Amino acid sequence: MVRVEAPAPERLRLDFGPPLGHYLGLSLRREEARKRVFTALWGLFRREWAKAGDVLEIDTGGRFVEDLVDRCAFALLEPATRPLTPRLVLAALPITKQERVRWTKDGRLAQSGAVTMKRAQLISVPTYAIDTIAALVASPEILSRWRAEDAAKRLSAEAGHATG
């Protein structure tokens, strides 16, 4: 998916726009992905990001760069596949924090695991599989259906409370 151009024998242009826009994990972690690619080539080639877009310009010095794209792809693998935190889920989906918590508790929004951090005490933060969130991004009608179910439950509870 990375487009490679060779405007001159000693220069390469790698356009990371398509993968950074296509893969949910990369689009949500765009800056991290750019830093990882830049770092993967550190010490090997002079490189700089073009002023516009996600194009990396590399001065190869005329050297053969057989593994350059492989290095870049490997650098993108981790941010593309790492589970999403609640903050990134909220960035990806048009939902509220309360909806995320409610749907996680009742099992509609499946957790893939948790990350434990130490602050003043241990804090466990849920994580979500990228594939699960990507499926919800692709099918917003699922979120609409969940909202309708929640509204029906609320109405039912209110009606039961009013008569009760």
Backbone phi and psi for residue 65, each to the nearest 5 degrees, phi listed first: -120, 55
Distances (CA, A) of 97 to 28, 83, 84, 120, 129: 17, 18, 14, 23, 17
Q: For position 26, what pLDDT does the model report?
A: 94
Residues 6+ apart with CB under 8 A from 18: 1, 2, 3
Give the per-residue pLDDT at 159. Answer: 81
What are the average pLDDT values for consecutive 10-residue runs of the chain, which has 164 residues? Answer: 80 88 93 92 87 86 76 91 96 97 96 91 94 96 97 87 60
pLDDT of residue 103: 97
Please say whether the dihedral angle defined by the alpha carbons of residues 139, 103, 113 and 17, taken in this order, is positive or negative.
positive
